[in-house]
Structure 1
Amino acid sequence: MKRPVLQRLALSTLPLALAACAVQRPPAAVQAPAPSAWHAPLPHQGSVADLAGWWQRHSDPLLGALIVDAQALSPTVAEAGARLAQARAQQTAARAALLPSLDAQASASRGFNEQVRGVATTAQAGLQAGWEIDLFGRNAAVADAARERLAGAQAQWHEARVSVAAETALQYSNWHHCARQLQVAQADARSRGETARLTRESERAGFTAPATAALATASQADSAVRAEQQRLQCEVIVKTLVALTGRDEPLLRSQLAAAPPLHPPEQLFSIDGLPAQTLAQRPDVYAAEREVAAASAEVGDAQAQRYPRLTLSGTIGRGLVRTAGVQATSNTWSIGPLAVTLPLFDGGRRAAQVDAARARYDSAAQAYRAQVRQAVSEVEQALARLDSTARRSTDARRAAEDYRRSFTATQERWRAGLASLVELEDARRTALASDTAVVALEQERMAAWVALYRAAGGGWTPEVDAPAAQTSTQATTTPPSSSH
């Protein structure tokens, strides 16, 4: 009597013993090197506005509209949206593996029965259920990996939007500064043209040597070439914006012409003193972190495949038989069998899969650490550029003003016959270079702000989900609640 009792006790404790042998995964979170504070100076001590409202700081509705159009048209965002839809589908499939499956079955037949020497009709209908008891957490590990990759795909979708927004803003800024450079070049061309006209009149009157007149004419032609080159650069930027946004080119040109001047903001958004808080805003860093967690779950999946699998099935049905006018029905049900699949020999395939999963985990961890280092570097570089442009801006403007005054004074002396044309051209060239440098410095500062916006994550936070995507088209055209 004691032996059956012991057998039943052993069988009842077997699931607990198997569960105690559940596989161990490597850490889902790894440490990444992040300095305790930024080494580059923070603009305005990191004060002022919210990063998510970056574009609204410009008070330029055209910029925000261009960004929306570019994001809706971008193939990068579309591809990220398709990957997001795939990740959602994979998560649904992985979750389904944790639940029982239920299938309906039906069959019917009609034929001659020799025993009763008549036609017999047989029909059956029923339900068949199956369930894999996830003792070692294999299906749970697959579901965890799918969940982490879905979170990473959402972050990558936001990263694509941030990249498109930054590129559009940069091109928009480039057009504004190119237009200003064109104004400088055209003003210089007009000034040189007037000088050439006066020089030719002086030559005809016999007061100016032909060589001096030729110098004035050459200077006028040279300025016309520079103005045309600058105009070409502006044309290229307009066509780049057309390609980015898909807008009608004549309409875009009229909108750009009516847009207010764009100046580098003195204040834009705040950067926390701790890099960890700022880097958490970067969707690429978050996606890399989720990939580490997914790889950790896949190690658990690979390990669990080396252990037994336990499946339980069951059926319920109803049958009908009609022969020679006699009809009989029957109901059937069964629970079982409880099947155990035990891996015995596979030539080392499952062990190799575990090694491969661990190698992928190590690779994901290294990629995550490298992504954090890259993020720190990008933020530091953007901060350094901002600091440098701020330090140069005052001196650059002062130099431009003084060179402009020097040119005006030299021009007056030249008209009075107290300065040579060579002196005038030298003063003009210096003034032109300083005016061009001021505009270029403002463009550099704006580019540094855009780079810092992108390096700081573009206002994305893990709490803000991408929109639900039943189709990849919806995923790429529906804007999230956060502003990029």
Structure 2
Amino acid sequence: MPIPNLCRNSGLLLLAGALAAPAAAQRPDTTGPGLTLQAAVASAREQNPDMQAQRNDVRTTRAGMRAARADFLPSANAGASVGYTASGVQRYGAQSFGESPDYYSSSWNVGLQYDLSGTKLLQPRIARAQHQAAESRIAGYEWSLTTQVGQQYLSVLQAGERVAQAQREVERTAEHERLARAKLEVGSGTPLDVRRAQVDRGRADAALVQQQNSYGTELLRLGRLMGADLPFETRLTSRFELFEPTWNAEELVAEAIQANPALAATRANSGAARTQVRAARSQYLPSMNLNVGLVGSVYSAGDISPLVNSQLAQLEGAFAACNENNVIRQNAGLPPQNCAGLNAADPVVRRAVRRGFEQANPSFPFGYERQPLQASLSFSLPLFDGLARERRVEEARVQASDAELAVRGQEQTLRADVRAALLNAQTAYRSAQLERQVADNAAEELRLTRERFRLGSANSVEITDAQTRLAEAERAVIDAVYAYHKSLAALEALVGRPLR
């Protein structure tokens, strides 16, 4: 990471060099795959499962928009059916109509229906508002994911620099151990100095192992956000400048009010809620319904014998009546009527009756007879439905009011959060500068203590204390620098755009 020239001695220059190459001691071979922040964000946008699930909502709202437009077209339907009625005596109440044969039936129908109402007229606008709200919500989630990736990228860099700092601590304790052994060999040191140096070395080794584990954990978390498996040798190549945040708070607030994705999503939800109010009011408008249909059907007897027998029985009665009428006519001197066609006992008459039923009985299942075209047009004006419409309108108004209040509340919260985030960034910048001065003094203190130890005027306890203070100061510098970068990332998340 490039560092401003605030170092005043070799100790701070060493620390700045370590911050410029995080985790280099942990991974001496820099041949692993490089990863920039931009590549990490792009991977998260394309592969993060939660992001992909959010985008699926847009497919639903697009389908809703298409359905709302297609709803202005008439609906068409076609159908067919078959049926069977067993033979038997048909009755209607106390009346009996004689025995009927079994019947087979089939039919088809084709129809068009068109409905028009105030709700349908507003449905495309409602669907479009819902689609815009979904897109705004997804944009807000995508920006939130981008800021999460940026924060985690910084966390991995911070963990890498802590590994490098732990490695430097191992090297310092090893150097002190070698110096203690050399003094013991020439008789100017003690075994206690060597043991203390070995204890310090062991603690440094343990701290290095823990920091390496923390680095691996943070790298895994970054990979999870990216939706990818990152190898342990991955090199994070993006670097971040440490600079003083001199933005004006009010300008940032105004920009955040216009560009914050979460606020934009809330505004889109408010617009959709206002559209729902108009849709609820449309229930007071009349509606129209148009139906046009064609029907064809066939009703075929399975056995025409009962029908033939019923017809012959009627002919027998008519034949007897005709003969009686002829007797009367004969007594009156009138010519008789021809009753031969009514003689049910005549085989010719019986064959004629059966032939007539055979010709009149349609073939099953496709002997359709088309019915006349049917069309109807109706209008409906709702007058009173138990105040259900009024309740729905009031509910829509309440939801719209709640959505507007949510926008106002989020704007107020955003104003306070932006100001607080800017103050945090400014404080973190000053803290990083102060921590570097402390690290500068700690590095100089360790150098002077080592010189005194070589000359025999300092003991190993002083060396240990100086090393501990330098290690703490180095870790504090790392934490302060990345606290600054993370606070700046939090400010960018609120403003809705990068600030560096």
Quote the offset at 1:303 in angstroms.
3.4
Contact 2:117 2:285 in 1 (8 A): no
Q: Deviations over 1:60-86 (max 9, x none)?
A: 863222222222232321221122222
Greater mean alpha carbon deviation, residues 289-298 or residues 86-95: 86-95
Q: Is the 8 A contact 2:133 2:272 kept in 1?
A: no
Number of equivalences: 384
2:195 is aligned with 1:214: yes
1:182 maps onto 2:163 in alignment:
yes
Preserved CA contact (<8 Å) 1:414 1:421: yes
Instruction: State which of 225, 240, 245 in structure 2 corresponds to 1:263.
Output: 240
- 1:379 maps to which residue? 418
Kindly name which structure, 1 or 2, has the bigger radius of gyration based on alpha carbons.
2
What's the CA shift for 1:234?
0.6
User: Cα–Cα, structure 1 residues 81 and 359, in superposed 2: closer, same or farther, change >3 Å?
Assistant: same
Which residue number corresponds to residue 148 of structure 2?
Answer: 167
1:243-254 counterparts in 2 under 5 A?
243-249=224-230, 252-254=231-233
AA of the residue aligned to 2:378: L
Looking at structure 2, the residues matched to 407 and 384 of structure 1 have their Cα atoms a distance apart, in angstroms, of 35
Q: CA RMSD in A?
A: 3.7
Distance in 1 between the 2:126 and 2:242 partners? 43
Q: Which residue of 2 aligns with 1:148?
A: 129
Aligned residue among 393, 404, 408 for 1:365? 404
2:181 is aligned with 1:192: no
Post-superposition Cα deviations, 1:381-438, rounded to whole Å, max 9, x if no partner, equal 3212221222233333333223212321221221121223233222222222222222
SS of aligned partner of 1:253: coil
Is the 1:144–1:294 Cα contact (8 Å) retained in structure 2? no
Equivalent pair of 1:145/1:297 in contact (CA under 8 Å):
yes
Q: 1 or 2 for the larger relative contact order (CA 8 Å, sep ≥6)?
A: 1
Aligned residue in 2 for 1:93: 67
Q: TM-score, normalised by structure 1?
A: 0.68
Partner of 2:290: 313
Unaligned ranges ≥5, structure 1: 1-59, 112-118, 460-484
Cα distance in 2, alignment partners of residues 328 and 161 from structure 1: 63
* Pairing 1:103–2:76 present: yes
Write the mapping of 1:283-302 to structure 2, written as runs, cut at 5 A: 283-302=261-280
CA-CA distance at 1:266 after TM superposition: 3.6
How far off is 1:313 after superposition?
A: 0.8
Q: 1:428 to 1:320 in 2, by over 3 A?
A: closer
Secondary structure, counterpart of 1:342 in structure 2: coil
Structure 2, unmatched stretches of 5+, are 1-33, 85-102, 299-358
Take 2:368 and 2:449, find their aligned partners in 1: how far apart are those partners? 119
Q: Which amino acid aligns with 1:101?
A: P
Cα pair distance change 1:423/1:72, threshold 3 Å: same
Quickly say closer, same or farther: Cα 1:61–1:268, change in 2 above 3 A. Answer: farther
Q: 1-side partners of 2:285 and 2:238: how far apart?
A: 70
Judge conservation of contact 1:63–1:169 (CA < 8 Å) in 2. Answer: yes
1:425 aligned onto 2:464: yes
Q: Percent identity?
A: 19
Give the letter for the 1:313 counterpart.
Answer: L
Q: Is 1:454 paired with 2:493?
A: yes
The question of 1:439 aligning with 2:439 is answered no
Give the residue type in structure 1 aligned to 2:115. W
**Residue 128 of structure 1 pairs with residue 112 of structure 2:** yes
- Per-residue deviation, residues 243-300 of structure 1 (Å, max 9, x unmatched): 3334444xx33331xx436234549998881634432212211111121122222223
For residue 308 of structure 2, what is the aligned residue in structure 1? none
Letter of the structure 2 residue corresponding to residue 178 of structure 1: A
Match of 1:312, SS? strand
For 1:72, the equivalent position in structure 2 comes to 46
